[in-house]
Amino acid sequence: MDIDDLRTFVEVADAGGVSSAARRLGVAKSIISRRLLKLETQLGVQLLARTTRGAAVTEAGAALREYAARIVAEFDAARDAIVPDGDLRGRFRIAAPISYGPTHIAPVLAEMGRRHPLLHIHASYSDRIVDLIGEGFDCAIRVGHLQSSNFIAKRVGSIHGKLVASPGYVSTHGAPEAPHEILAHESLMQGAETWRFMDGQKSIMVNPQGRFKADNPVALAAAAVAGLGLGYLSDSVIDEHIKSGALVSVMHRYPPVPAGIYIVRPQSQHPARKIRVLTDILVDWFADVSPVNVHSL
C-alpha cells in the first residue's frame, strides 16, 4: 500500500469528508477519491460510507484508521531519523491567534518556508482554540497562561503587558492600588478569565468582573480608551495609547505576570521533525526580541 493513500484515508476519516480532507491536504477532491478507491480495492472492503453530509468510517474503516495513523507517524519518524538534516517535505498545518499570528508568527513561518522550499505550510489564524486532532493541525501557537490539557506544550518566548485605564476613568473611579481592589472596578475581559500579578516573587490571581467583553484585545483597548474600565493588555496593543495619553498604566507595584508564547502539539512518542524545527526557529526568533510585545495576555 502507498503511504500517501494511507495518509489520505486518515485525513478523510478525521475530517469527516472528502472535501474537508482535500482542503487540509491542499489537493483536488478527485485525487482524494482516487486514492480511497485504490485503497478499498486493495483491501477488498468498504472503508467509508458516503453520505450527502460527508463520509463516515465503516467498522473496517475505524479499525484501519488506528493502524494507518500509527503507520504514517512511524514512517515520518523513520524518514526524519534516516535524513535528520534533509529538507522538510509534505504538509505542515499550524494554527495561530489572529490577534498575534499575522504580525509575530507569520515572519517565522515565512523564514521556515524559505529554509525548506519543499515544505507546504498551511497557516490558519483565529482567536478560537482549535481542535488540533479533529481539525487536522500538526501544532498550534498559543499565547497567554495555558490551562492544563492532554497536549504537550513548550514555551518559546514571553509576553509583557500592563494594567491600564483612561485618565477619565481614573478621575471618576480612582485606580486600584492592589490586586484585590480590582474587584471593585469594571474590568474589560475576553471571557471568564484570571488575571495574574507579581508581588515580589509571588503570584497573585484575581478573577475580575465586568460588563464589557470582546474576543479581541484591540477591541478591549478601544473600550479602555472610551473609559469603560480596566484593561489587562499587552504592550504592543497599548503602546500608542500610552504615548498619546489616551491610556495610563495603573497599579505599578503589582505588574502582570509575564505570560508565555507556546507551541502546542498532540502527544506522541516521536514529535515530527517539522515541529522540532519550528520550535527551534521560534526560540531563536523570540530570544532576539526582549521584551516580546504581543496582542494578548
pLDDT tens across the length of the chain (297 residues):
788 899 899 888 888 888 888 887 778 889 999 999 999 999 999 998 877 677 788 999 999 988 898 888 788 777 777 766 667 877 788 999 887 788 889 999 999 999 988 888 989 998 888 888 778 788 999 987 777 667 888 999 888 899 999 999 999 999 999 999 999 999 999 887 899 999 998 999 999 999 999 988 889 999 999 999 999 998 888 999 999 999 999 999 999 998 889 999 988 756 788 898 999 999 999 885 443 333 333
- Determine if residue 90 is left, alpha or beta; phi over 0 gives left, psi from -120 to 50 gives alpha, anything else beta: left
Are 169 and 212 in contact, with CB atoms under 8 Å apart? no
**Please, where are the H alpha helices in 94-210?**
106-115, 167-173
The answer to whether the predicted template modeling score (pTM) of the entire model surpasses 0.75 is no
CB atoms inside a 10 Å sphere around CB 290? 9
The residue behind cell 534533509 is: 86
Are 165 and 224 in contact, with CB atoms under 8 Å apart? yes
Among 170, 185, 152, 111, residue whose Cα is nearest residue 262 = 152
Among 271, 291, 290, 278, residue whose Cα is nearest residue 77 = 271
How far CA 289 is from CA of 158, 160, 237, 281, 284, in Å, comes to: 10, 12, 16, 13, 9
DSSP-derived pairing of the beta strands 248-249 and 161-165: antiparallel
Largest CA distance in the chain: 76
Q: Collapsing DSSP states into helix, strand and coil, what is residue 245? A: coil
Q: Collapsing DSSP states into helix, strand and coil, what is residue 75? A: helix
What is the Cα–Cα distance from 15 to 24, expressed in whole angstroms? Answer: 8
Are 91 and 275 in contact, with CB atoms under 8 Å apart? no
Tell me the sheet residues that pair with 93.
122
The DSSP string of 33-64 is: HHHHHHHHHHHTS--EEEETTEEEE-HHHHHH
HSE at residue 201, side-chain half, CA atoms within 13 A, is: 0
Identify the DSSP state of 180.
Answer: G
Among 80, 68, 71, 67, residue whose Cα is nearest residue 119 = 80
Which phi and psi angles does 195 have, rounded to 5°? -100, 140
